[in-house]
Amino acid sequence: MNIALPLKHWDLFAWGVLTTLELTALALVVGFLISLPCALSLNRASKLNPLIQGYVYLFRGTPLLVQTYIIYYGLAQFDFIRDSWSWVILKEAWWCALIAFSLNSGAYQAEILRGAIQTTPRGEIEGGKALGLSMRQITWLCVLPSSLRRALPQYGNEVVFMLHGSVVASVITIQDILGAGRTLNGKYYVAYEGFLTAAVLYMTITFILVRIFRQVEKHYLRHLVRSPDAVKVPAVPGLPQVT
């Protein structure tokens, strides 16, 4: 393996890292904006729930690669789309990838957030009612902050999955990390240098993201971890011991 090749073309991989992080971050943000109303609706008796459930099932049940192909290659087959204003966006590979990634991430995040909201302790809602808060205030001030804290581990997994799934962008001409590796291999007719460099970069970014989420979880979920210095209640004869 010629290590000098990736080092010589560090700018190619730097641009790939920037493109990958940009696509991943924007897809996660847009996906969250999609998932929030979907998750709130799924936890209520809404007439839109069948449509939302269909959307979640569709994008969780099909591969991201297929979704990207359909948006990038499939929509271009319709004349009314090419003649509409949307063609200004859909003719660009970057926008097609962002749309596909956002819809895919939104479906997964909707299911994550729905489960977190569903497991909200009843006492938190009753406490909000006791303070005289409306249901809207209880949702935004009590339920959602609590749910987001509990969903942090699952959100960490979704961020990593979205990062790895972003390699799909390279198949529609976007120069992400994997695209940079493929370009290097094709330019110098080598087999390993580009792909191994891409693998190292993905592992490095994943390690950083995992460490960040571990620290965030440690901060916001510390109340769920029992302190080793907790005071032990002495046992009382005839009563079960409190641990």
| Residue 44, SS3 per DSSP | coil
Q: Look at the block and give the residue holding tokens 């006791």.
A: 130
What confidence score (pLDDT) does residue 220 get?
A: 82
Q: What is the mean pLDDT of residues 2-31?
A: 93
Q: What are phi and psi of 176, to 5 degrees?
A: -90, -160
**Dihedral angle computed from the Cα positions of residues 85, 50, 113 and 57, in that order, rounded to the nearest 10 degrees:** -80
- State pLDDT tens for residues 149-195: 999 999 999 999 999 999 999 999 899 999 999 999 998 888 889 99
What residues contact residue 154 under an 8 Å CB cut-off, 6+ apart?
112, 115, 116
Query: What is the structure's pLDDT at 231?
Result: 53
Per-residue pLDDT, 221: 79
Give the mean model confidence (pLDDT) for residues 29-46: 94
- Extents of the domains making up the chain: 4-223
**Distance of alpha carbon 18 from alpha carbon 177, whole angstroms:** 8
| Exposure of 96 in the CB half-sphere (CA atoms within 13 A) | 26
User: What's the pTM?
Assistant: 0.87
**pLDDT value of residue 229:** 56
- Report the CATH architecture of 4-223: Orthogonal Bundle (1.10)
